[in-house]
């Protein structure tokens, strides 16, 4: 069965990491990508605009009840949790912070694991807390594929180290190798014609 979606979590240093990662995906990349980047509650949507200028894909902030489409990168808006529903629509929530964060990486990953089960790729990047580790474990339990940024390559290694210790991911890669690897996974898992 082909992979159907990619979820990415990042925190401290994530702005730069995503700026190197997202532009590498080609226009014909078949999976939607969902991103939680920890931001302050009152920040604007600069990250989405910045990545959209750099990217071959369409990068936008996620909207409530939006229907998921391939060729899109959806970013959690500041101060909202991003959830993926089982009918493959998006939800935004102002529920309590998780791991001191809203948006929370764990919440995105946990809901995506339910919605996409074993056809999901989860990626944990640079960051200064342990958000994402428990969510990545849920992706692994559901049969998804887990990738963590090499801690030595991360701006702040706390988040990658936490994810590696809890999850034992399928791959640990430098930021500049992650997109190429996911593109290969996408090609390998496409159904035969």
* Active site (annotated) includes residue 11: yes
* Active site (annotated) includes residue 38: yes
Strands in 85-139 per DSSP E:
90-93, 120-124
Q: Do 65 and 89 meet the contact criterion of CB atoms below 8 Å apart?
A: yes
Among candidate residues 38, 104, 106, 153, the one labeled active-site is 38
Do you know the residue count of the chain? 193
Among candidate residues 131, 153, 157, 186, the one labeled active-site is 131
Distance CA 103, CA 86 (A): 19
* Active site (annotated) includes residue 70: no
Give every CB contact of residue 74 below 8 A, 6+ residues apart in sequence. 32, 33, 34, 35, 60, 61, 62, 66, 68, 82, 90
Q: Do 135 and 113 meet the contact criterion of CB atoms below 8 Å apart?
A: yes
Place of tokens 């339990």: 141
Tokens of 192: 């035969």
Angle at 150 between CA 172 and CA 23, to 5 degrees: 90
Known catalytic residues are 11, 38, 131
């Amino acid at each position: 069965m082909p992979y159907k979606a990619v979820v990415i979590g990042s925190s401290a240093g994530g702005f730069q990491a995503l700026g190197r990662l997202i532009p590498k995906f080609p226009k014909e990349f078949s999976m939607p990508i969902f991103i939680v980047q920890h931001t302050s509650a009152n920040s604007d949507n600069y990250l989405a605009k910045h990545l959209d200028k750099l990217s071959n894909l369409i990068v936008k902030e996620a909207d409530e009840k939006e229907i998921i489409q391939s060729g899109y990168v959806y970013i959690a808006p500041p101060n909202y949790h991003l959830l993926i529903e089982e009918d493959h629509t998006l939800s935004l929530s102002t529920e309590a912070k998780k791991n001191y964060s809203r948006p929370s990486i764990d919440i995105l990953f946990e809901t995506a694991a339910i919605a996409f089960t074993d056809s999901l790729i989860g990626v944990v990047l640079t960051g200064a807390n342990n958000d994402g580790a428990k969510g990545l474990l849920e992706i692994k339990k559901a049969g998804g594929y887990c990738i963590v940024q090499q801690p030595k390559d991360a701006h702040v290694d706390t988040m990658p180290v936490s994810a590696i210790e809890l999850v034992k991911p399928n791959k640990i890669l430098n930021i500049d190798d992650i997109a190429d690897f996911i593109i290969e996974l996408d090609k390998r898992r496409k159904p035969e014609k």
